[in-house]
Structure 1
C-alpha cells in the first residue's frame, strides 16, 4: 500500500493554502492525502470530563479544522483519496511522528502565531530538521500550485561530495511528474587564502575549484534517466545565496539534510536552514542518513 502524503493544518489561511498545494502534489504522485491537526484538548480536558460535557468547544474546533481542510482538498481534486484526523499531541512531535509513515510531509511556514514573513515557524523548522521523510515547506510568497507552476522548473542543490543522494533522486522524480526541466546547481567558492598575485598562477585556483564543482555535479547525476531534461550549472558564490537566487525562477527547490545517528538538535545544515527562511518558492528538505 502506498504511504500517504501528509499535510499539517491549524485552521489558518496559510495552512489551507498548503492543503491546495498538497492536494495537487498527491494527485501528481498518485498518492492518498492525509490531513492532520494536532490538538491537546483531550489531554487537558480528560476523556471522562469530555464525556460528561458532551463535545467540548476545543473538540468541536479541532474537528472543524480537519473537516474543512479535507473538504477543500476533495473540492480541488475530486478523484483524490483524502483522510483526516485530529492528533492528541504538540504539532512538532505529531508531524515528526507522522513522517515515519508518510511519503512526504507538507507544512506552511506560518500559523496562528503571526511570525514575521522572513522567519520560519517552529513547527515547520522542527519537522524539516527531524522527519524521516522529505518535508516540503511552503512560504507565503509562492503561487500555491504544484501541478501548474509559474516557472516550469525544479531546482536541486548538489553537495560537494559528488555522490548520488536522496535529494537528487527526489528532485528527478518531481521534475518527471511535472514534465519540467531539472536545474542541478553546484555552488563553489575560492577561499581568499588560495588566491595568488603571481602572473603565471592568476586564475589557477579558480579553475581548479570550478573543475571540482563540475566533477561533483557529474558524479551526482551519473544515472539520470533519459526522460528528464537536466540542466547542469556551477555557480561561484555561497551555496545558500546561489540557491535562494535560483528559487526565484523555480516552482520547487530541493535540498538535502544529513541525519547523523545519535545526534540531537536541529539537523539541517546552514544551507538548508537559510533557504527555508528565504526561498521564493516551496522548499523540499530530503533527509540523508550518514
Structure 2
C-alpha cells in the first residue's frame, strides 16, 4: 500500500483549506489521503471528519480517502502519523489559536518535531490553487538544503511547472576583508554564491531533466529574498537541520519567518 499524505483537521476554515490543497497534492502524487482529527476529548469529532471528507471529495473526487479520530494531543498524534507519511499537511491557524497569532501552535510544534516534510497551507486562492506555475526552494551553503532541493524538484515535476532556486548571502558582520574588495568578491574568496546553487542543483537536475530551473543569487537577508520570491509562487520549500543530541529540528530565524509570513503554502523538509 502506498504511503499516504496525512492532513490534520480541526473544523476550522484554515484546516478545510488544507484538506482541499492536500486532496490535489495526493492526486498529483498518486497516493491516498488520510484525514486525522486528534483532541483529548471531542464529541463533535465524527461531524468534523465528515465535513472534511466531503470537502476533500468535492475538491478531488478521485482521491483515495480514509479518516481517523485519535483522542490524544494533536501535535503528538500528527508527529506519530508522520513517521509513515509522504508528508503532513496543516492549516496555518486552528480553532484554539489566539487572534493575534500568525501561525497556529499545533502547526509550529509539528513543523519542529516531524520526521517527514510538513506543509503549512497559507495564502490566498491564487497561491493555493497553483495559478503561478512556480515552486521556490531556498538553498543554503552546506548540506542543510539537500533533501529540500530534492523535494522541490519532485514537486515541480509532478506539477509540470518551473523551479526557482534562491540563495541569499551576505558578508559576516565584523569581517570586512581586505581593503578594496566588494562584498561579492569577498564572498567569492570563500565559496562563490553561484557555485553554492550550482552544486546543490546538479544531482536533482540530472534526475528531473523535464523541470525548467532558474537560479537567483541575492545579497541580503534570506527571509526577505524567500518571501519576495514566494509572492509569485505556488509553493515555498525550505530545509531544516536535525538538532544534535536533541529530538526534533532546528528551526532557525529564517524558517520561523517564512512559516509565519509566507504568502503561499510552505513545506519544511527535514534534512536526511
**Structure 1 residue 142, shift from structure 2 partner:** 2.6
Distance in 2, Cα, partners of 1:96 & 1:8:
11
2:62 matched to which residue of 1? 79
Change in 2 beyond 3 A, CA 1:113/1:136: same
**CA distance, structure 1, for counterparts of residue 192 and residue 141 of structure 2:** 9
> Contact 1:163–1:220 (CA<8 Å) still a contact in 2?
no
Match of 1:24 in 2: 24
RMSD of aligned C-alpha atoms? 2.0
Superposed displacement of residue 75, structure 1: 1.9
Whether contact under 8 Å (2:119, 2:268) holds in the other structure is yes
- Go from structure 1 to structure 2 and tell me whether the alpha carbon gap of 1:94 and 1:144 turns closer, same or farther (over 3 Å shift): farther
User: Contact 1:185/1:233 (CA < 8 Å) preserved in 2?
Assistant: yes
- Name the counterpart of 1:234: 217
**Partner residue, 2:152:** 171
Q: Deviations over 1:67-113 (max 9, x none)?
A: 11112111221111000110111111111111001100000111112
Using the size of structure 1 for normalisation, the TM-score is: 0.86
Query: Which segment is superposed worse, 208-217 or 94-103?
Result: 208-217
Distance 1:164 1:242, change over 3 A: closer
**1:260 is matched with which residue: 231, 240, 243?**
243
In 1, Cα distance between the equivalents of 2:163 and 2:268? 16
* Structure 1 residue 273: Cα displacement: 1.3
The structure number with the bigger radius of gyration is 1
Give the Cα separation in 2 of the matches to 1:158 and 1:229. Answer: 17
Aligned length, in residue pairs: 267
- Where does structure 1 differ by over 4 angstroms across 4 or more consecutive aligned residues? none
CA 1:193–1:183 in 2, change beyond 3 Å: closer, same or farther? same
Report what 1:212 is aligned to. 192
Deviates more, 1:188-197 or 1:233-242: 188-197
* Residues 158 and 220, structure 1, Cα contact 8 Å, conserved in 2: yes
In structure 1, the gaps of 5 or more residues are 42-57
- 1:222 and 2:222 are equivalent in the alignment: no
Partners of 2:144 and 2:241 within 8 A in 1: no
- Corresponding position: 1:279 with 2:262: yes
Aligned partners of 1:163, 1:137: CA distance in 2, in Å? 20
2:95 aligned to which of 88, 109, 112: 112
Please list every run of 5 or more consecutive structure 2 residues that lacks an aligned counterpart in the other structure. Answer: none
Partner of 1:52: none
* Equivalent-residue separation in structure 1 for 2:88 and 2:65 (angstroms): 15
1:15: which partner in 2?
A: 15
1:238-280 Cα shifts (integer Å, max 9, x gaps): 1111111111111100000011353146631221111101111
Deviation at 1:179, TM superposition (A): 0.8
- Please give the alpha-carbon distance, in whole angstroms, between the structure 2 residues aligned to 1:163 and 1:40: 35
Q: Deviations over 1:43-67 (max 9, x none)?
A: xxxxxxxxxxxxxxx43x1011111
- Checking the alignment, whether the CA contact within 8 Å between 2:26 and 2:32 is kept in structure 1 is yes
Give the 3-state SS of the residue equivalent to 1:172 in structure 2.
helix
Shift of 1:207: 2.2
Cα deviation, residue 206, structure 1 = 2.0
Q: Is the 8 A contact 1:24 1:145 kept in 2?
A: no
Where does residue 54 of structure 1 map in the other structure?
Answer: none
Following the alignment from structure 1 to structure 2, what is the Cα–Cα distance between the partners of residues 287 and 2? 21
The equivalent residue for 1:183 is 164
SS at match of 2:192: helix
Change (3 A) 1:20 1:145: farther
TM-score by length of 2: 0.91
